[in-house]
Structure 1
């Protein structure tokens, strides 16, 4: 295949435009550096007329609001999915890892849950606490200044609670709890479970001229046309371009490998242009990989050179190792007291208004890491599958629906809004035996070798999920709710989602001080290549019982400041 050589050289080439890539682009461009962003999917702006979908009815969607054709993102707002035609991945040794990829400008930040939690002091030193995994080479105090900056730049609502391992930040006003959430609060307090306002990157009060304020349409999955919720394009890339930063976008361009010279310095990124299906190179003084933890590992493992025969930066043999995702398990219940409730607009933000951070001490339990709970329900816009949920409610309440037309509608209205759901999201233990690697026998439609996954849950995660369901049942009992789902047993892994399904995968190129036992430095630079940095979840040492996005953003900003400093010192 002929490779088209570039004529322009950028200061920084960034692969991926999600949280880490977008933050790095903004900070570096505003420092006066020329930046190129490679994105595997198309350009996307939720405010553009051709993509603006807020305030439209579910039945106007090409998918009628259902997720059977493409997961997440109503109105086809998520370009990608669990399976992408022509871009397979494989599993080995009984593994069943599920890999969600979002190929569009802004990546997953266009349709994520916006739950924006800081890691706490204990989350950077889990090995010192329970002897499992490894400690980070940095502490909470190292990252705190950047968490503060991210809070102020992007905006996050919440409340100051003084919880030691759930650090407070700079918060916008949180929305009030909805009715089903008030019931949850009642049951949780009876069960001794902490409840606080949610912390989400949704702007509930004006913060700058580039961002609108949330008007509570509950449609964040479509990304926000007034930029009131956080997505990388809306809040990082576009404002940086508007302010004069030089950021050139190369969309529909899939990175294949990082090229190096005889001095073992990275010189360019090779990529496939999906439009003409030809391979090109784009040169940069610094290369930043922010393609997501698994995609970044794939690029590095496919970057072969005489000194890097096992993949670029892989002298430790650890690229792809210690892959881990959040645990997840859920339950649903029917609240008889909410039958026949008054109908009113209860949309709120596109997610939970309250949640429960981890409230117990794992030293007193039979599993090592904690979880938080997320609550859902209420009078949101009905979606497809709604009728099947009604049948479960009616069976639980020993009621039977009959007839057609008006009778059916009356029954549906009576049961509507009487359901509550609880989901647990917890920390798994990073293990070397959970990993991704290059499949030697399979390539994608562009001829690039694909990833093969090896991942299984351990008893640590199974016992944690069992505890989740015990908690769910205690909360339901406290509010007189009737469970609509059975409590899963050991034969069902206590209801654990498959690895990867929570879409918090991290850890494939973990940071550390010893090059023999890690892939990057504490500033996310490859130990083996001085001008290649990683700005996604790949350098994570452990996950915490929190969503990773806020930490990816903070660490990317910290990394970008380090790059600027090193360039000034002519060390790169």
Structure 2
């Protein structure tokens, strides 16, 4: 195959445009560096009328908004999913890992839940708490200044509560709880389960001239046309371009490998252009990987050379190891006291207005680590699967519900908004035996070797999810709610979702001081190659019971500052 080489030499090539890649793009370009951003999906701007899905009615979709073409609904702004045609992956015999990929500028940040939580002091030193896994080589104090910067730059609502392992920040005013959330608060407090305003990155007040304020349409998953919620494109990359950043975007370009010279240093990347199917090479002084934990591991493992026969940065044989995702499970209940509601607009933000961080002492429990709870319900825009299934009411309560015409309309109005869902999202224990590796027997449609996954939950995760379901049922009981479906038992591993389904995978290029047991140092710089850095969730030593995005952003900013400093000192 003919490989087309560019004569342009960039200061930095950034692979991926999600949270980590977007933050690196902003910081490095605004520092005066010439930056190339290579993204596997198309250009995306939610304010573009051709791409906008916000505020569209279900009838404007031939599928009425159903999730038959996109995993979270026809209007969801995730170009991709767990299964992408032409981009397969495989599992070992006893594994069912689900790998979600969002192929578009901004990546997963276009449709995520915007739950924006800092890791706490204990989260960086978990081995000190329970003897499991490993401590990070950095602590909360190392990251706190960057959490502060991210809060102020992007905006996050919430309240300062003084919780020891759920650190306070710089918060915008939170929205008030809606009716289903008030019922959750009532049920939780009866069991001494604390509830606090959520911490989410939607703007409830003006912070700059580039972005609007949330108008409570509840459709953040569609990406916001006024940029009131956070996504990497609208809040990092586009503003950096407006501020004069020298940024070249290479979209629809699938990176094959990081190229290296005879000394083993990175010289750039090789990619396949999806439109003409030709291979191209970009040259750069520094390569920053932000493709996502598993995609970055795949690229590094495919970047073999005489200097790096085991893959780039993989002299330790750790690339791909210690893969772990959040635990998760959920339950839905019918709340009789929420029947026959008046119909009114209570949409709010696209997600929960309150949440419960981990509140118990694991030393008194039979599992390690904790989880936070999320909830949903209310009277959002109806579409297929909006939470009213007549068969559920008929089956579980013996009610004659549904039918056709006026009877159906009457019952929909009667039960609409009477459902409350609760979910848990918890921390798993990193295992070296959970990993992704190259499947040398198969390639994707671009000729690039694909990933194979090996992953099993441990008893800690399964017992944790059992505890989640006990908590859900207790809260439902406290408000007189009737759970829908049966409580999952031991034979169903208590309803734990498959690894990868929560889309919080981390840990494949873990951080550490020991080059033999880690891939990057505390600045997310490859031990083996000093001009390659990783700014996605791959370097995470552990996950915490929080969503990873705020920590990805903070660490990417920290790494970007380090790159600028090292370039000035001519160390790389």
> Tell me, what secondary structure is at the counterpart of 2:268?
strand
Deviations, residues 365-396 of structure 1 (Å, cap 9, x unaligned): 10001000000001111120247623313544
Structure 2 match to 1:64: 64
Residue 159 of structure 2 is matched in structure 1 by 159
- Contact 1:62 1:75 (C-alpha < 8 Å) held by counterparts: no
The question of whether the paired residues in 2 share the 8 Å contact of 1:73 and 1:221 is answered with no
Please list the CA deviations of residues 312-361 of structure 1 after superposition, one character each: whole Å capped at 9, or x if unmatched: 01011000000000000000000001110111001000000000000001
CA–CA distance in 2 between the matches of 1:339 and 1:215?
A: 27
Alpha-carbon RMSD: 1.0
Cα distance change of structure 1 residues 402 and 116 upon mapping to structure 2, 3 Å threshold: closer
**1:478-489 matches, cutoff 5 A:** 478-489=478-489
Match of 2:354 in 1: 354
Q: State the TM-score, normalizing by the size of structure 2.
A: 0.99
Q: Deviations over 1:451-475 (max 9, x none)?
A: 0000011101000000000000110
> Deviation at 1:407?
1.7
What CA distance in whole angstroms lies between the structure 2 residues aligned with 1:7 and 1:42?
Answer: 24
Whether 2:68 is the aligned partner of 1:55: answer: no
For the residues of structure 1 that align with 2:530 and 2:443, how far apart are their CA atoms?
30
Matching of residue 409 in structure 1 with residue 412 in structure 2: no
Structure 2 partner of 1:187: 187
The corresponding residue for 2:269 is 269
Shift, 1:64, TM fit: 1.8
Conserved 8 A contact 1:327-1:425: yes
Aligned partner of 1:172 in structure 2 is 172
Can you list the C-alpha shifts for 1:76-101, whole angstroms capped at 9, x where unaligned? Answer: 52111111111100000310000000
SS state at 1:409 partner: helix
Give deviations 1:373-429, integer Å, cap 9, x for gaps: 000001111120247623313544432126521121011100000000000000000
Equivalent residue, structure 1, for 2:102: 102
Preserved CA contact (<8 Å) 2:65 2:73 = no
Q: Please give the secondary structure, in 2, of the residue aligned with 1:439.
A: strand
Aligned residues: 572
Matches of 1:402 and 1:464, distance apart in 2: 37
Whether the 8 Å contact between 1:122 and 1:165 is mirrored in structure 2 is yes
Specify whether residues 76 and 338 from structure 1 end up closer, same or farther in structure 2 by C-alpha distance, changes over 3 A only: closer
Give CA deviations for 1:115-151 in whole Å, capped at 9, x if unaligned: 0000000000001111111000000000000000000
SS in 2 for 1:528: coil
1:10-29 to 2 correspondences below 5 Å? 10-29=10-29
Deviation at 1:73, TM superposition (A): 5.5
Structure-1 separation of matches of 2:301 and 2:446: 16
- SS of the equivalent of 1:7 reads strand
Distance (Å, rounded) in 1 between the aligned partners of 2:181 and 2:394: 22
State the secondary structure of the residue aligned to 2:433: coil
Corresponding residue for residue 507 of structure 1: 507
- Corresponding residue of 2:291: 291
Instruction: Name stretches of at least 5 consecutive residues in structure 1 with no aligned partner.
Output: none
CA–CA distance in structure 1, aligned partners of residues 464 and 550 of structure 2 = 24
- Secondary structure of the equivalent of 2:389? helix
CA distance in 1 between counterparts of 2:562 and 2:108 reads 26
2:461 aligns with: 461
Q: Is residue 316 of structure 1 aligned with residue 310 of structure 2?
A: no
| Aligned positions of 1:331-346 closer than 5 A | 331-346=331-346
Task: Check whether the contact 1:89–1:451 (CA below 8 A) recurs between aligned residues.
Answer: yes
| Contact residue 134 and residue 541 of structure 2 kept, 8 A | yes
Which runs of 5 or more structure 2 residues have no equivalent in the other structure? none
